[in-house]
Amino acid sequence: MSVRVVARIRPLLGSRELDKDTIVRAEQDSDGKLNIVRIPNPKNEAEEYSFTFNSVYEMETTQEELFTNEVAPHLKSLFNGLDVMIFAYGVTGTGKTHTMRGGLKLAERGIIPRMLSAIYRRGKKVTKDSGGETEVSVSISYYEIYNDKVYDLFEPPEKRSLAGLKVMENNGKNFVVGLSERACDDLKVFEQLYIEANNNRSTAGTKLNAQSSRSHAILTVKVTQANGDEQLISTASAIDLAGSEDNRRTDNNKERLVESASINKSLFVLSSCIDAIGKGEKRIPYRESKMTRILNIGQNNGITIMILNLAPLRSYHLDTLSSLNVSSRAKRIEVREIENEVVFTQPPRKTAPITGTSLQQRQPLRPLANAHNTHANAAAQKGDKPAKAFSVYSDKGKPVSQVRRTNSTSKRPSDSASNARPTKMARPNPTGVRSTTDMTSAKIEELIERKVQEALANRALEQPASNTSNEISEAVQRRLDALEKRIESGEAEDDSRAEGLRFLLMAKQHKERGEDASALKMYEMAVPFFPGQEKLQNKINHLKAKIAAKRGETMKPLVVVEPEGRRALATAPIAQRPIAVTSLDGAIDEPEQRPPPKARKIRQSTQSDADFNGSAIIQADDYDDDDSFAYRAAKSKKSRSKPAKSALRIFADDAEAPEAATPKTRHLLDIVNSRDVALIKSLKGVGGKKANDLIEFLELQNEDDGGNIRTLQQLKAVPGFGPATVDRAYEGITALLI
Ligand SMILES: Nc1ncnc2c1ncn2[C@@H]1O[C@H](COP(=O)(O)OP(=O)(O)OP(=O)(O)O)[C@@H](O)[C@H]1O
């Protein structure tokens, strides 16, 4: 099934938001379903764009209506072993926190408290229906991603480690290491914990929202159903994303700007992931932000619901268009609807034959260590999972598999026919396994094991050979990995610098893939971390000019519009067509503000950058084509070893011919250029700090031609690597070579 995307338009707030400024409206489709959002073209109010979702909720929608329609129907699936993920997405101040958390009054409670309340109710029912045999327990974990770092919200801020918690991957699933989990068996306990934890969340007043969330908050509710030594664990995640911000409108100070850059970056990565999945690309850039790693949209199993929060006002026009674009693409993402498996809390008794009715109701045995979300993705993807018949939690007197399947598909009131979830009955069964009754549990395990191995092997074979022009070059990937490693291992001492470097590296990645617009955005986001950096500015200008020249040839509408909008666009002359784009800060550039680029700089190109419309035109003659720039450290502590601007000459086109490289020199330079901190540290006289500074220096140098050091002379010019250090390292090479 695909990600379910619904839009919610918030009401007008206070006396300053006027009805006459409302530009977003909901509309019914031809079947009478309220599932269309209409918004005027910012350039031509007579023209409208329309976006179709699974459902649209108007201003008057109550918290209860939204919950009843969008969340309640999935709780049965949760108890049947499916994971459920609900996340709120939208521009700042559009009502995400209101939707997820809501107010304290009963009627204003948002999805999260309502969901917990419903989970407890259903848990009680399950226990009752099983005659008290099934126990249901609930535990929660709650954390935030603030400036791309993960913090446990059950920990007060003063107890947090600055580096935050690590995110790691296991069995294709990302999890947070060291996150606390609180048992929470009734609503009272939950409310207490939740309120306390929310006080620990990073919020601040901004011009656009008096209580703006400065972080993404992720609440995971783990529901464990235990019957004897069998357990079924599933999770419901509720995610309140921070909102994108157009900093031209926020008046944010430096601290808010850094937060904002991080929020916008992660949302940009999310939109890139959505794009990449939509295009069927092999490489989905999940790893580029913690939020996308954790959300893992499209990779996870179960049910995913995206709630797009919208403000109805004209002042949000461009931002709204931008988020409509992203979310309308998200509804094309397919999510596998696979239940978690029942696990045993004790080792299986292999010799005991399973007979009679219990044979039909039991699952293959699995160790508890793998209890949560243990299904192997690859096997699951192939639909090879044997039919499951765990009936403990089923409605009484009915064969569970059938009951579950029928119900799960019928409980989607607002699904269109095209979006209906396929029943699991229809899943392919290429193994020809008729049912579990024909097999012993040992055979089933063996079969699964074999299929998993096959799928893993296939996946390994399918790994793309990275020789297409769109792939990131190995060198860049290596540098990114090295940087990531250093940041994650805490070796990068200066957090903000590391963050800036991430932007630079992402820019580089995008550039390598020919995605100039995205690269430009990343460079722009690096600016706050490298203030006054002339070379960086030159890069930005260079890219802007390049994009503008390209765009001069390829003025194309970029908004994903539904047929009505498309028709309107098609009739508009090219020069008048709007170029609505998703940009990092949610802004959309105004087409007519751009003067035409110089004719001689226009290159024939059919490529258009779908995610950016640069507004600044810089004559191509004006920009400095030198692609390198120097990092000027803000901190005096570091400045000693940071490359001064003059150090750039080492990569300049100098007349100095590289000295004839001896094997020893070549070996030394190979180590230096490897950017491998462990290797560099193995050089005589080079410690961790020198190695890290050298790598950072290399990252910032002439990246387009690899930024490698070609001679010992050049190495001696690297800050921190004087002639003495280089001579010592050179001498040490002999020992290394032996
Ligand atoms: N449906 C609604 N009904 C009543 N008030 C609402 C509704 N949606 C939002 N609001 C109000 O709008 C204001 C902004 O909402 P909220 O803080 O939830 O926005 P947000 O999208 O979470 O913003 P940010 O991303 O900055 O955290 C709040 O005062 C909230 O109470």
* pLDDT given at position 452: 53
Query: Which of 6, 10, 308 gets mutated to test ligand 1 (max ligand atoms within 8 A of its CB)?
Result: 10
Cα 85 to ligand 1 centre (Å): 21
Answer yes or no: is the C-beta of 95 below 6 A from any ligand 1 atom.
yes
Smallest CA separation from ligand 1 atom 23, residue: 93
* pLDDT given at position 255: 61
Given phi > 0 = left and psi -120 to 50 = alpha, else beta, which region is 672?
Answer: alpha
Distance between CA atoms of residues 282 and 462, nearest Å:
10
Q: Which residue has the tokens 């009680």?
A: 124
Determine if residue 90 is labeled as part of a ligand binding site. yes
Return the structure tokens found at 186.
């009734």
Distance between CA atoms of residues 137 and 115, nearest Å:
15
Determine if residue 95 is labeled as part of a ligand binding site. yes
Strand partners, 139: 183, 222
Answer yes or no: is the C-beta of 98 below 6 A from any ligand 1 atom.
yes
Q: Which residue has the tokens 């950058």?
A: 609
* pLDDT given at position 122: 96
Cα 441 to ligand 1 centre (Å): 52
- Residue pair 467/473 in contact by the 8 Å Cβ criterion: no
Domain boundaries, the chain: 4-330, 354-400+421-462, 513-622, 651-737
Determine if residue 320 is labeled as part of a ligand binding site. no
Cα 584 to ligand 1 centre (Å): 21
Rounded to two decimals, the ipTM of the complex is: 0.98
Distance between CA atoms of residues 282 and 464, nearest Å:
8
Cα 299 to ligand 1 centre (Å): 30
Residue 295: CB atoms within 10 Å: 27
Distance between CA atoms of residues 593 and 287, nearest Å:
36
The candidate with the shortest Cα–Cα distance to 227, out of 358, 338, 335, is: 358
* pLDDT given at position 34: 96
Is residue 139 within a helix (H) or strand (E), and if so which, with residue range?
Answer: strand 135-146
- Residue pair 617/545 in contact by the 8 Å Cβ criterion: yes
DSSP-derived 3-state class of residue 280 = coil
User: In this structure, which CATH number among 3.90.1010.10, 3.40.50.720, 1.20.120.1730, 1.10.150.280 belongs to the domain 651-737?
Assistant: 1.10.150.280
Answer yes or no: is the C-beta of 213 below 6 A from any ligand 1 atom.
yes
Return the structure tokens found at 91.
């521009």
- Residue pair 695/713 in contact by the 8 Å Cβ criterion: no
Answer yes or no: is the C-beta of 174 below 6 A from any ligand 1 atom.
no
Determine if residue 93 is labeled as part of a ligand binding site. yes
Determine if residue 606 is labeled as part of a ligand binding site. no
- Residue pair 373/85 in contact by the 8 Å Cβ criterion: no
Is residue 6 within a helix (H) or strand (E), and if so which, with residue range?
Answer: strand 4-9
* pLDDT given at position 186: 92
Judged on CB neighbours under 10 Å (0-12, 13-18, 19+), 567 is exposed
Determine if residue 250 is labeled as part of a ligand binding site. no
Determine if residue 468 is labeled as part of a ligand binding site. no
Answer yes or no: is the C-beta of 13 below 6 A from any ligand 1 atom.
yes
Answer yes or no: is the C-beta of 205 below 6 A from any ligand 1 atom.
no
10-residue averages of pLDDT along the chain (738 residues) = 90 89 93 94 90 95 97 95 92 93 93 96 95 95 89 86 83 82 93 90 58 82 92 94 64 62 81 83 84 79 91 92 87 73 63 38 35 35 34 31 34 36 33 42 56 49 38 51 52 55 72 74 78 81 82 42 35 31 32 34 30 25 29 36 36 40 80 81 85 77 63 83 87 61
Cα 239 to ligand 1 centre (Å): 15
Radius of gyration of the chain (CA): 28
The candidate with the shortest Cα–Cα distance to 114, out of 128, 129, 98, is: 98
Determine if residue 290 is labeled as part of a ligand binding site. no
Strand partners, 168: 175
Q: Are strands 84-90 and 25-28 parallel, antiparallel or unpaired?
A: unpaired
Show Cβ contacts of residue 570 under 8 Å, excluding neighbours closer than 6 positions: none
Q: List the Cα angle 95/97/103 in 5-degree steps.
A: 95
The candidate with the shortest Cα–Cα distance to 520, out of 625, 597, 590, 615, is: 615
Distance between CA atoms of residues 79 and 67, nearest Å:
17
Indicate the fold that domain 4-330 takes in CATH: Kinesin (3.40.850)
Query: Which of 62, 63, 65, 98 gets mutated to test ligand 1 (max ligand atoms within 8 A of its CB)?
Result: 98
Q: Are strands 135-146 and 149-152 parallel, antiparallel or unpaired?
A: antiparallel
Cα 99 to ligand 1 centre (Å): 8
Strand partners, 310: 9
Q: What is the DSSP string of 603-667?
A: -------TT--------GGGS----------SSHHHHTTSPPGGGGGGGS--SPPPPPPPHHHHH
Distance between CA atoms of residues 209 and 98, nearest Å:
12
Smallest CA separation from ligand 1 atom 9, residue: 95
Burial per residue of 143-164, b for 16 or more beta-carbon CB atoms within 10 angstroms, e otherwise: bbbbbbbbbbbbbeeeebeeeb
Answer yes or no: is the C-beta of 482 below 6 A from any ligand 1 atom.
no
Cα 45 to ligand 1 centre (Å): 27
Cα 310 to ligand 1 centre (Å): 10
Closest approach atom of ligand 1 to CA 309:
21
Q: List the Cα angle 696/702/706 in 5-degree steps.
A: 85
Cα 62 to ligand 1 centre (Å): 13
Rounded to 5 degrees, what are φ and ψ at 260? Answer: -60, -40
Q: Are strands 84-90 and 303-310 parallel, antiparallel or unpaired?
A: parallel
